[in-house]
Structure 1
Amino acid sequence: MSWSDSSSPLSGEALLDAVTDAIVALHLREYGTFPATAETVLLGDDLLACTRGGVHADPGDPWIEFERTAASNGRGETVQTSPHHTYVDVVQRLSGRTVLAFVCNHAAGPDVWVDLFWLTT
């Protein structure tokens, strides 16, 4: 089953696999390349963490610039105004839970992205 045809909430390994597949598909659509590695884990019952490795993003990438601008302005961006809302929509649909907060960070040195989704319990 692909991440796009799931209509009932998933849990366990099925959820983790579906989120990983969905994040990789979104990454491919947005950047035109696959990450070298991707993995999703659930920490506790409410923190979903997805890592993507080997993602060589252009420092001038508008998504990266958005994150820098939001950070430098000293204000948090809400899910509704973030360009990453699609990631949140996918996680909410697959898990059947509300995403309370979303954080995406990119480390240029090792070329790793980390997406964190805090979910309702």
Structure 2
Amino acid sequence: MLTLPPVGPPNWWPQTTRLGRDHYIRVDTCDYSVHPRAIGHRITVRTDTESITVTCGNDTVARHVRCWARHQSITDPEHAAAARILRGQAIQRASRARAAGPIALAPDDLGIEVEQRELNSYDRIFTLIEGGADKEEI
């Protein structure tokens, strides 16, 4: 076997993706947390043998020591706390929206003019009343 070169390998497995709502990224078989402020934004994941670094633009949103065990979830306590705060705010917004009640807009409220058809015209179409579509009487 040959010896390893004196210089460490460059960032392996560079990856660019959009961060999902669960604010975790997967490298190999392990999941690493990312700060929730990056949810929905494009992130770049740089991985080497020692660490995982996640950037969003010029901002570093996660830095973890690489875990070589299989199927692990590595969570930074700061990321978990920020996620709890954001989740609480979302729940409060949803409860305030439910308390306000549904918003029902009539077509007139939107400034749209809608034709109002007389209901007996449907009766004539479906021959439910006299003088309907060409139906022969028995």
Provide the TM-score with structure 1 as the length reference. Answer: 0.26
Choose between structure 1 and 2: higher helix proportion: 1
Q: Which structure ranks higher in relative contact order (CA pairs < 8 Å, sequence separation ≥ 6)?
A: 1
Provide the TM-score with structure 2 as the length reference. Answer: 0.23
**CA radius of gyration, larger in:** 2
